Structure 1
Amino acid sequence: MARIFIVVSIFIGCFTGAVSAQERTPVASLIADTIRFDGASTRLVARGNVEVFYDRLVLQTEEIIYDQRANRILVPGEFTLREGDDFVVHAAGAELDSKLQAGLISTARVVISQQLQIAAQEVHRADPQFTTLNRVVASTCHVCDKGDVPFWQIRAARVIHDTDGQRLYFEKARLDFLGVPIFYTPRLSIPEPGVARASGFLVPRFTSGTTIGASVKIPYYWAISPHSDATITPFVTSKGSAIIEGEYRRRVQNGAYEMRGALALRDRLSQEDYNGYFQSEGRFDLRNDYQLDFAISLSSEFDTLNEDGFLDNYGYSNDDRLTNFIQITKTTRTGFFYVGSSFTQSLRAVEIDTDIPVVLPEIHYTQSYVDPIFNGKANLTLHSVSLLRNLENSYTRIGARGDWRKEWHTGQGLVLGAAGQLNANLYYGDGSSDFSALPILRAEIRYPLKKATKNATHVIEPIAQLIWAPDDPWGSANQDRSTSDSTTAEFEETNLFSINRFPGFDESEAGVRANIGMRYLRYAPSGWEMNVTLGRVIRAKNLNQFDTSTSTGLDATNSDFVGALSFSYSDQFQFLTRMLADDDFNVSKNETSIVFDGDRFDFAASYVWLDQYTVLGQPNRQHEASLSAAYMASDNWQWTADWRHNLGTGTPIEGDLGLVYQNECAEVRFSLSLQYDADGNIERDYGLQIAFSGLGSRNKNTKSAHRCGV
């Protein structure tokens, strides 16, 4: 039988009142296998695959009865009512108005945003904004059979759904987890699933540790405006500490900033209450492409009673120095500008803040050029820094650095290069001034050789550089190491062919020397790649410019051999090892790492060997290994593990174990953290976090979602 389509404005639209040209009422449409109108009772009866369309509403059922006199629609059997994809009702029967927007629905199941399911014995819809559901069970978990127990569910006497406010209000609500009641509240309000920002309580976090005992954090999120929000978190511990944490974030037209902190109303781990910390950072775009950045980090003083501070006691941070800065920068294709100030708060028991100078200010300007004579690349850098310890102890350095380099390619494949650098500084401090300058010249020859086969491409490149510089700088160099920005000079494959290995401005590498080495690259279309770098520095004489307290591998006439080897395959596998070795091939530094990233299994391992001359400022060797692994046992279960071990002493350093269960409606995280001190004491921290999708969490794992009948 052919289906019948009727625009039922004659029956439904005419009862919506007179409509002006400016206020049009949507027209209802009806599709059914059969449609019959009884003039005596003024009833329209439609049967068989019935569909009613009104605005964004679609009703599907087998039979409807439209009562013209009462202007009501009766649905005697099961039906589905949809309002877009965000609101779907499956019910056993209903009595609705002609707009399908108000009425009584019996034995209904409501699906909101294709995620939250609400089963109710009755649904009252007074208007398009508010829907009341009585005797409710709500969950985001899939339930296939009537006897199934959802992973979690909320039972409530009544739920009011505010579609305009996008919130659900529960009355006399009880939260069940795996069928066991765990929480009751007379009132509960949650945002609709899918709402990105809504005020309310977030997922609580439960932990248990050796230091603070059992603890709980219950964050409350406040969506202040479309551009700002705040989070307030009460934090209480079983050992009697009570802390209030806070975070505020705001985005403005030209940038954003955020502030966070914590205040201990009662601190049982310290001699004093009202300990805390404050942190803030921000970034703003200024006119003419300038950018302003700042960071503030302050904490209560070091606690000499427990040899730990507030940040470390409560797990916020284990940093023992907090850096604060403000800076303005501008970066262009050919230049860079920086001006900034900074100061550092020390949390070390043996260090006083006045021993750490305040940078007030530091200025750095670099501009690149193409020289008009040789067509080489030139850079000019101007820099200045002032350090202030107290009103009677200040230091200022003003300097300039010029760099130039040029390459020539011969017909035989040789690459010839030349470079030069001049670094000059003027020092002011303690009522006196000093001046120093050091020129450096470099000549370079490289001979890259390439061979391509069916399976791979090979490139090998021998490199030799001859560098000239005076044995001593012109003038008198800065002798105060506490004001130097070149206190260390690391030696590795990345700066093997550098003209100057000091990272700062106030010192340059002196003396005649040669950088000799080679590079090798193998690339295969299958995804395999190998890189090798090997070389050393040979000096005319040992100027004692480097020593074991400030550098590694550079403290003799001839440097150690430096080398690096890496393998990689696509994004799945990486292997890297780098080392320093002397003439007898005694290794003073070795760092090796392996990373594997699979579909279900991830693995990373590293090994570090640094002898006592390599660990700057430390009398002992550093010899340790670390492992990290993650295994997705199924679509629902994931294991994670991390471990660090001191191979020199044979003792562990730290470890973490995590277990995560995730399905379509919840995520449960369990963690165990172990910290070992030098005396062998163990600090254990346990963590448990349960997140229900639709309750303060946007968690929705569609990959592991349970499918009925699968």
Structure 2
Amino acid sequence: MQIRYLVALSLLPQLVIAGEAPAPSASQCVVQPPVPVPAVQPSTDENNQVIRISSQDSEAQMGKQARFSGDVTVTQGNRLIKADEAVLDQENEQLDANGNLVFQDSAFTVTAESLQARMQNNSATLKGAQYWLHGQQVHGDANELEITPDNNLLLSETNFTTCPPGDSSWLLEAEKIKIDSSDEWGEIWDARLRIAGVPVLYVPYMTVPVSDKRKTGLLFPTFSTSSTNGVEVAVPWYWNIAPEYDMTITPNYMSNRGLFLKNEFRYLAGDAQQGQINLEYLDKDRSISGNPDRYLYHWNHQGAIDKNWRVLADYTDVSDNNYFNDLNSDVAQATDNQLSRVGEIAYFQNNWNAGIRAQDIKVLGETDEPYQVMPQVSFNYFSPSLWQNLDFSFASEVTNFAHKDAGELSLAGQTIPTATRLHVEPSLSYPIYGPAGSFVSELKLYQTNYWQRDFANDSGLSEHVSRTIPQARLYGQINFERQTKLFDVNYRQTLEPQIQYLYVGYQDQSDIGLYDTAALQDDFYGLFRDRRYAGLDRIANANQVTLGVTSRLFDDHNEEQLKFSIGQIFYLEDNKVNLLPELVEETPSFSVLAAEMDAKLYEDFYFSGSVQYDTKEQDNKKSEFTLDYRPGANKLVQLSYRYIPDLLNTNTNDRVDISQAGIRGAWPIRDDLYFVGNWYYDLNESRSIETYTGIQYESCCWAVRLSYHYRIKTNYDDDIATVPDPRDQFESGVYLNFVIKGLGGSGPLGVADMLNEGLFNYRKPLYLRN
């Protein structure tokens, strides 16, 4: 499970474990003790460690007392003591040392005024101590520091911080700290937190984890203000129920809406299964007429029962269509409009697998609900090299399609068809692979039977349909390469032509309903698919040839600097299969010309683009372009443009053209201060659709981020308001994140986190490394 770091319950989490990696530089932030840290060798006999003492002068009385002075060094196992003078009481097995005193072991260095060590129980007490943890930021003072025989630490009148010496950004003071090394917990009494020297928090008693163990307590709060939610304050509380269970409860108060409660419960079911349950509830939303209650519940479970059985469950439901648009949910974002409900159990063997699956998808804002899979039973068999390099595979399924509105429509005298589908798909393929290229020949048979119910007499559907469609596919690729020079730079260039011939038989399928089928996108990789539609309700006939070519450039380090692909389908016969009988699809003699390119243009400039162009109509069907300038870590300027014509608006059922341009940037102002911003503009509507500006300061011991967000809201028809409510088309807000490092959090995640804020996430060329 993911470890949560706490506010009041993790004030000293790094005393034993490795510290957080701060933004500026790990080497800059690690506080070094004033004396060198020796390379401590592990002891070979921990039960009977020999004490070795060296000094410039010494005097001893046999069996009683020995006095050492001048550059005194005492070693015992992993521990090292240096002092100006030391007295060893052999009768009481006690060592006293003082004067420029240094005490070191593998975990920390302590300087002190005096030391008293008791040899018989391996304990020590240091007065006037200053301590530094090796390899970490943590350091502090203690009036008295005691190391107990069982290696626990007791600190009296002490303090600690993760800030560099001389930096008083924050400091924790305590009357007493006890750290139990066996239980890996610490106890703190009378704790006072000072920020810039000003006391801001007092806690009489607290416990803290000093390893990766989890502990119940408060997490860091968040603050924001927006035009829709008003002032928003969230204070999460973490409950460590058991090693295999935990829960986070987050009261989130919004001045415009009310109290929004979020609950996340996580669990482990054995070594190989895990799950999560989310419950969210807003009582009487004040921003909507009628003050409706709003809620979410979500359950996800997945894992392996044993080496063969796998289970999956995923269920989410919300009170209304605009839930994710209005509320800051922990389950999904505002751009998500589909709720998946899936339950599956599957059995896997080397050459075959079988499973049973139930699925229901809720599309927010859609009046027409998709069909439910209730259930689907599948069986798949694979036999590579069945005979003479001939591969055989067999896929099959039995699916029952139900509809949640079927009962209501039946009572209203209307009908909606449901069906049971049996599909088997045997295939034979003969692949040939080599350095010079590849060639695959494939034969496949689609055999499908439908038993359809509850359809209207004039629907054109049949009660029983048997469909048998053969398919043949030939696919070949050749790899050419040569050495070339461009702009006085040596490259290895490849040329990879591809060709595919696809034949799919024709059968009239207009008497079959649409249960899980939709059109697929015509990008470059889609040109070489053997299917035009997703799902099995429509299998389009085909007699076509696809031509494509890819070229790449590799530098002397064998790193890809450019990739360009272009291709097109040439139809030898018209498509006779449509999604709907009344929908007459255009039957051109060739598909769109699809091209994609990723390139490192020059030094730190990168280009990525894709185009789908209708060569017959000479019309752009889709295009996306980005130009990146990335000269170093956390440095980015990206220009982007995307165009999608004739896109269906699911809210209004109108066809719209999407033409949007944007700029996104991230740049360090100093080593500890950087800026991230983006701006996207709708060229058709002549308006901004999203603006984000964020500034983050991150030092070794604290971080703060201030951001402003202005974005368009995706609003669906309200299904919870008593009367129609006007909705703000845009939302704006100011957000503040503040974290003290070492006091319960590692701070904002940095540039990558800020680049992914909002509707448009940052994407860089997929195939290129920088």
TM-score range, shorter-chain basis?
0.7 to 0.9
Matched with 1:217 is 234
Matched with 2:52 is 29
What is the one-letter code of the residue matched to 1:179?
G
Relative to structure 1, is the Cα distance of residues 608 and 380 closer, same or farther in structure 2, using a 3 angstrom cutoff?
A: same
Note if 1:326 corresponds to 2:343. yes
Matched with 1:502 is 533
SS of residue paired to 2:326 = helix
Matched with 2:197 is 179
- Output one character per residue of 1:101-157: Cα deviation in whole Å (capped at 9) or x when no partner: 6565332113346432221234456765664434333211110xxxx3422112334
Distance in 2, matches of 1:445 and 1:176, equals 70
Deviation at 1:677, TM superposition (A): 4.0
Relative to structure 1, is the Cα distance of residues 547 and 623 closer, same or farther in structure 2, using a 3 angstrom cutoff?
A: farther
Distance in 1, matches of 2:383 and 2:501, equals 25
Relative to structure 1, is the Cα distance of residues 201 and 480 closer, same or farther in structure 2, using a 3 angstrom cutoff?
A: same
Q: How does 1:75-94 map to 2 (within 5 A)?
A: 75-85=97-107, 87-94=108-115
Relative to structure 1, is the Cα distance of residues 257 and 31 closer, same or farther in structure 2, using a 3 angstrom cutoff?
A: farther
Distance in 2, matches of 1:370 and 1:115, equals 57
Note if 1:682 corresponds to 2:730. yes
CA contact (8 A) 1:269 1:313 kept: no
- Output one character per residue of 1:506-539: Cα deviation in whole Å (capped at 9) or x when no partner: 2212153333444434444353233222223334
- Output one character per residue of 1:16-51: Cα deviation in whole Å (capped at 9) or x when no partner: xxxxxxx966443322222212579x5421112222
Distance in 1, matches of 2:266 and 2:498, equals 52
> Which range moved further: 170-179 or 134-143?
170-179
- Output one character per residue of 1:531-573: Cα deviation in whole Å (capped at 9) or x when no partner: 2222233343353637999999x75343232222332589984
Matched with 2:359 is 342
Distance in 2, matches of 1:214 and 1:140, equals 31
Matched with 1:208 is 225
Matched with 1:538 is 571
Deviation at 1:496, TM superposition (A): 1.4
What is the one-letter code of the residue matched to 2:328?
Y
Q: How does 1:305-454 map to 2 (within 5 A)?
A: 308-309=322-323, 312-316=326-330, 317-318=333-334, 319-329=336-346, 335=352, 337-348=354-365, 351=367, 355-369=369-383, 375-389=389-403, 390=406, 394-406=418-430, 418-430=441-453, 432-442=463-473, 449-453=480-484
SS of residue paired to 1:495 = helix
Deviation at 1:685, TM superposition (A): 2.7
What is the one-letter code of the residue matched to 2:400?
S
Matched with 1:241 is 258
CA contact (8 A) 1:415 1:446 kept: yes
CA contact (8 A) 2:216 2:238 kept: yes
Count of aligned residue pairs for this structure pair: 658
What is the one-letter code of the residue matched to 1:250?
Y
Note if 1:276 corresponds to 2:295. yes
SS of residue paired to 1:611 = strand
Note if 1:97 corresponds to 2:118. yes
Distance in 1, matches of 2:127 and 2:201, equals 28
Distance in 2, matches of 1:119 and 1:55, equals 25
- Output one character per residue of 1:349-389: Cα deviation in whole Å (capped at 9) or x when no partner: x637xx34321112333333457677543432212221212
> Which range moved further: 460-469 or 182-191?
460-469
Note if 1:514 corresponds to 2:549. no
Note if 1:294 corresponds to 2:313. yes
- Output one character per residue of 1:312-340: Cα deviation in whole Å (capped at 9) or x when no partner: 32354323432111113456665554431
Identity %: 17
Relative to structure 1, is the Cα distance of residues 547 and 595 closer, same or farther in structure 2, using a 3 angstrom cutoff?
A: farther
Q: How does 1:458-477 map to 2 (within 5 A)?
A: 458-470=493-505, 472-473=506-507, 476-477=509-510
Matched with 2:274 is 256
Deviation at 1:292, TM superposition (A): 1.2
- Output one character per residue of 1:577-617: Cα deviation in whole Å (capped at 9) or x when no partner: 23222324321211223455542313444322111168796
Matched with 1:575 is 608
Distance in 1, matches of 2:385 and 2:674, equals 59
Matched with 2:636 is 602
SS of residue paired to 2:684 = coil
SS of residue paired to 1:621 = strand
Matched with 1:492 is 523
Distance in 1, matches of 2:649 and 2:442, equals 33
Note if 1:154 corresponds to 2:172. yes
What is the one-letter code of the residue matched to 1:686?
V
Matched with 2:304 is 285
Note if 1:664 corresponds to 2:700. yes
- Equivalent residue for 1:589, pick from 617, 622, 625: 622
What is the one-letter code of the residue matched to 2:68?
A
Q: How does 1:34-53 map to 2 (within 5 A)?
A: 34-38=57-61, 42-53=64-75
Relative to structure 1, is the Cα distance of residues 103 and 487 closer, same or farther in structure 2, using a 3 angstrom cutoff?
A: closer
Distance in 1, matches of 2:181 and 2:468, equals 73
CA RMSD of aligned residues (A): 3.9
Distance in 2, matches of 1:70 and 1:520, equals 82
Distance in 1, matches of 2:188 and 2:116, equals 24
Matched with 1:7 is none
Note if 1:566 corresponds to 2:598. yes
Q: Which consecutive residues of structure 2, in runs of 5 or more, have no partner in the other structure? A: 1-45, 411-416, 455-462, 715-726, 750-770
Distance in 1, matches of 2:569 and 2:48, equals 85
- Output one character per residue of 1:649-684: Cα deviation in whole Å (capped at 9) or x when no partner: 122222333322222222323332222248884322
CA contact (8 A) 2:519 2:532 kept: no
Distance in 1, matches of 2:478 and 2:62, equals 100
CA contact (8 A) 1:518 1:533 kept: yes
RCO greater where, 1 or 2, for CA within 8 Å and sep 6 or more? 2
Distance in 2, matches of 1:445 and 1:67, equals 87
What is the one-letter code of the residue matched to 1:235?
N
Relative to structure 1, is the Cα distance of residues 618 and 463 closer, same or farther in structure 2, using a 3 angstrom cutoff?
A: farther
Distance in 2, matches of 1:462 and 1:598, equals 34
Note if 1:650 corresponds to 2:650. no
CA contact (8 A) 1:518 1:535 kept: no
Relative to structure 1, is the Cα distance of residues 447 and 212 closer, same or farther in structure 2, using a 3 angstrom cutoff?
A: closer
Deviation at 1:619, TM superposition (A): 0.8
SS of residue paired to 2:528 = coil
Bigger radius of gyration among the two: 1
Deviation at 1:429, TM superposition (A): 1.8
Deviation at 1:503, TM superposition (A): 2.2
Relative to structure 1, is the Cα distance of residues 521 and 700 closer, same or farther in structure 2, using a 3 angstrom cutoff?
A: closer
Matched with 1:456 is 491
> Which range moved further: 505-514 or 518-527?
518-527
CA contact (8 A) 1:487 1:550 kept: no
Q: Which consecutive residues of structure 1, in runs of 5 or more, have no partner in the other structure? A: 1-22, 303-307, 702-710
CA contact (8 A) 1:427 1:478 kept: no
CA contact (8 A) 2:184 2:213 kept: no
Deviation at 1:621, TM superposition (A): 0.7
What is the one-letter code of the residue matched to 2:643?
W
Distance in 2, matches of 1:205 and 1:330, equals 45
Distance in 2, matches of 1:445 and 1:68, equals 87
Matched with 1:20 is none
Distance in 1, matches of 2:70 and 2:697, equals 46
Matched with 1:693 is 741
- Equivalent residue for 2:671, pick from 624, 635, 638: 635
* TM-score normalised per structure 1: 0.81
